[in-house]
Structure 1
């Protein structure tokens, strides 16, 4: 039996640099299907964010606006898992490397952001809203200290110049374009691009975002 979609969640693709065409196809399909609301997982302050990561988000938001569909933009902040998914390397070398300086990151877990999306899709009154979503802020130095405290292993944050961090990532086997994107994102963090004082996330999910201590503790158990 044919099914219809009244509300659609477009989760941004993971092929950075290629996802705009994918997003365009989804938006057109939503228009053709007469979707009543499209929610899109964007990034913090996509309209003014100067990181390369924000470019495709900004263009996708414009595509959605131009489509005429009712929309909601879920401008997700940094996923804490971006910093905790590879703790085995931190334990091996005793450092978490980066170029983020003392920039503060309004991070939250994937589950937190998913909960916000679920609220938007299952309740009314969100049409046309742009939500800046971020959790309790931390620096990479604070993250490393929490990893050390939770694991009992010596882990510190090593802030590197962009060119040195690039070489570290290339030496780890990352493709050059992806390495460049990660370095650019860290430099964005150092400029405050991934920090927000917005309480939109907490208001949507009806609770504080997952504390850094809890997120790190869960990651340490599986590292």
Structure 2
């Protein structure tokens, strides 16, 4: 059984490969699909089969997926280009006769109002048309998404957002990657939809309290209207499209789009999700 992972030198892909090896998959049975072979030296040294292909290169993708049985399609990072890029991967998988695709989508992709969900919905629809059994790994937010803004919040004493009293069922990137690895090593998968979220379903106010407890500095949460938060992010130096996307995602949190009590993540990894306090203590 050969398992391929796209974006294998990215944070999620690398963790998924670790998860496969931890679950007994021989490194030689893992195909790491990468854009830059130089960044995959450590994978090659472990015995992983490194193959070079960009999401935008259909021919290279077809060569990279030759002989592959199962595929983890890690969603691309180029927002706005992901639909054609993902389609290229799916077409290459069809040509290669791949028997299963697991795709990293977004929580509640079919109903989510997060702007990122649009491309995920399109990819899910293309997977349904492909005829290849597909497992939808609808990942919630990573706690790591917030680590870049935590130091500033500690320094200023204020964390800003537009999440209101909405709850976030986030988890660590490693937890989601472990779930993906588990799906790939299990038999009987196919046409499954997993709504993946962490045990801690907390508001931004509670998150600010945890940051305070970990850092020893008082941090409070201030809620802003979506437009004001977007403007503040632009003022902090973010490009306007990125600021609009982040503010929109926060507003979606207030509507419950990034909250779930499905228990799917916990069932797959066989334990509770990693506490946010543990993640913060490693970075603060």
Fold shared by both chains (TM-score > 0.5): yes
Residue of structure 1 equivalent to 2:109: 46
Say yes or no: does 1:170 pair with 2:259: no
With 76-85 and 186-195 compared, the bigger mean Cα shift is at 76-85
1:164-193 per-position Cα deviation (integer Å, ceiling 9, x unaligned): 101111011111111111111001000001
TM (norm. structure 1) is 0.95
Residue of structure 1 equivalent to 2:136: 73
In the aligned structure 2, how far is the partner of 1:20 from the partner of 1:96? 34
Q: Secondary structure at the match of 1:12?
A: coil
Matching residue within 249, 271, 277 for 1:207 = 271
1:35-83 per-position Cα deviation (integer Å, ceiling 9, x unaligned): 1110000011111112212111111000111011111000001111112
Q: Secondary structure at the match of 1:106?
A: coil
Q: CA deviation at 1:84?
A: 2.1
RMSD, aligned CA: 1.4
Q: CA deviation at 1:92?
A: 2.4
Residue of structure 2 equivalent to 1:139: 203
In the aligned structure 2, how far is the partner of 1:22 from the partner of 1:92? 40
Higher relative contact order (CA 8 A, sep 6+): 1
Matching residue within 9, 15, 29 for 2:92 = 29
Q: CA deviation at 1:17?
A: 1.8
Q: CA deviation at 1:216?
A: 2.0
Residue of structure 2 equivalent to 1:124: 187
Say yes or no: does 1:17 pair with 2:74: no
Aligned residues of 1:85 and 1:219 also touching (Cα < 8 A): no
Q: Secondary structure at the match of 1:138?
A: coil
Q: Secondary structure at the match of 1:41?
A: strand
Structure 2 residue runs of 5 or longer lacking an equivalent are 1-48, 50-62
Stretches (4+) displaced over 6 A: none
- Please identify the structure whose Cα radius of gyration is greater: 2
In the aligned structure 2, how far is the partner of 1:11 from the partner of 1:142? 31
In the aligned structure 1, how far is the partner of 2:85 from the partner of 2:230? 28
Say yes or no: does 1:59 pair with 2:88: no
